[in-house]
Structure 1
Amino acid sequence: MAGLQKAKSEETHRRVLEAAISAVEAGGLDAVNIRKIAAEAGYSVGSVYKHYADQDELLLAVNSVTLGRIRERMSEALEGSVDPMFQMKVLAQTYLDFARENRNLWTTLFAHRLPEGKAVPEEHILENIALLEFIAVPLKALNPELEGDVLAARTRTCFAAVHGLVTIGLEARFVGLSGEEMDREMMFLVERVSGM
């Protein structure tokens, strides 16, 4: 009996999360509405709240899935490569491609803010750190003198530079780039911030 209840609970959890992911994919952050997601998943609003304390917790779960998908794509992109500059470039291009192909998920990852006083869960912080590790490894290979806090700071700087270029480009700001021009300039940026 307990096993059946656990399986049903896991199924509810999964279906609610899938409905929330679909809502974000279709309409972005503003599309996340507990009542609509409950209806889409085929459950009551109360059932959703049994699994997710509030909308913020549900969005954190969606963002965790997004981070996982980015990490998976980066891992696949790096398979078989050993040259650290190539790795830095392929990571940046993979990030750009993911943002282009999954615009609403990617935007929600950075647009969602927790209310003041509500701490980001430790596991979510660790997921972000795991993403940065992809950059830290080839960056260290290119700059062996970087250690500890300096390496961590330079890793965040590299990510911020790439993320900024992607953000401005996808938001079509007046200084933004697009298409092949964006791809070319991304490679230029990566070479410069990687210390080469």
Structure 2
Amino acid sequence: MSADERRRALRDTLVAEAERMIAAEGLPGLRARELAQAAGCAVGAIYTAFPDLDGVVLAVNLRTLNLFEAALGPPARRIADEAAASDELVRLGQAYLAFARAHPLRWDALFRHRAPSGQRAPDWYVAEQARLFARIEQPLAVLRPDLAEPECRLLARSLFSATHGIVALGLDPQRLALPPAVIHAQLEILVRAMAAGLRKS
């Protein structure tokens, strides 16, 4: 096995073990020493495969984004009208809620992780996020065909922020802690109200 193959194998092992640790204990449970022990390598070996521990977290979060994308199912081939666009936005919101409930610690790690001061997320990670936001932009473009692409992208992020707020507060046992059925219903009310408002804009 070549040095590059060994490095790739180590990367895969580290990401798999970090993924398991985050799913079990959340992001605070990921520590370099324990990760190295689980992967069967020295602590220093982590930094031959990744520039830092943040790189490991980003790789795990990418897997989480891919898992969420798979949970969404294939994109709608065609959204026929405004009613169908509204239905698709509700479906996406409910899928987001279901994913957060099914994978709470992995979902939390997506938002808990902070890049080191002065650094931004790598372009490849931003591109993966943008692909998911495009799922929201598609029905929004049906509701507001007059919007230019940059405005539609911004609107998608605003709608996501509102959806995330309901899900995050509703699932937080120390804050709102609502029953799943209540979060489900409130989420639909919010999304349909926003969709109706957009149609009238």
TM-score by length of 1: 0.90
Distance in 2, matches of 1:43 and 1:161, equals 43
2:47 is aligned to 49
Contact 1:29–1:108 (CA under 8 A) maintained in structure 2: yes
Identity rate, percent:
28
Change (3 A) 1:175 1:22: closer
2:132 is aligned to 131
Distance in 1, matches of 2:149 and 2:87, equals 23
TM-score by length of 2: 0.88
> Aligned residue pairs: how many?
193
Could you tell me which amino acid in structure 1 is paired with residue 31 of structure 2?
N
Distance in 2, matches of 1:45 and 1:80, equals 47
CA deviation vs aligned residue, 1:93-138 (integer Å, no higher than 9, x gap): 1111110111001111101111211222111111111110000001
Q: Compare 61-70 and 96-105 and name the one that shifted more.
A: 61-70
Q: Compare 159-168 and 7-16 and name the one that shifted more.
A: 7-16
1:180 is aligned to 181
2:13 is aligned to 15
Could you tell me which amino acid in structure 2 is paired with residue 152 of structure 1?
R
1:162 is aligned to 163
Distance in 1, matches of 2:21 and 2:73, equals 26
Could you tell me which amino acid in structure 2 is paired with residue 54 of structure 1?
D
1:85 is aligned to 86
2:58 is aligned to 60
Could you tell me which amino acid in structure 1 is paired with residue 86 of structure 2?
M
Contact 1:81–1:87 (CA under 8 A) maintained in structure 2: no
DSSP-derived class of the 1:183 partner: helix
1:113 is aligned to 114
Unaligned runs of 5+ in 2: none
Change (3 A) 1:119 1:179: closer
CA deviation vs aligned residue, 1:22-55 (integer Å, no higher than 9, x gap): 1100111111111111111112212211111111
2:147 is aligned to 146
2:172 is aligned to 171
Contact 2:54–2:115 (CA under 8 A) maintained in structure 1: yes
Distance in 1, matches of 2:143 and 2:48, equals 48
Contact 2:14–2:46 (CA under 8 A) maintained in structure 1: yes
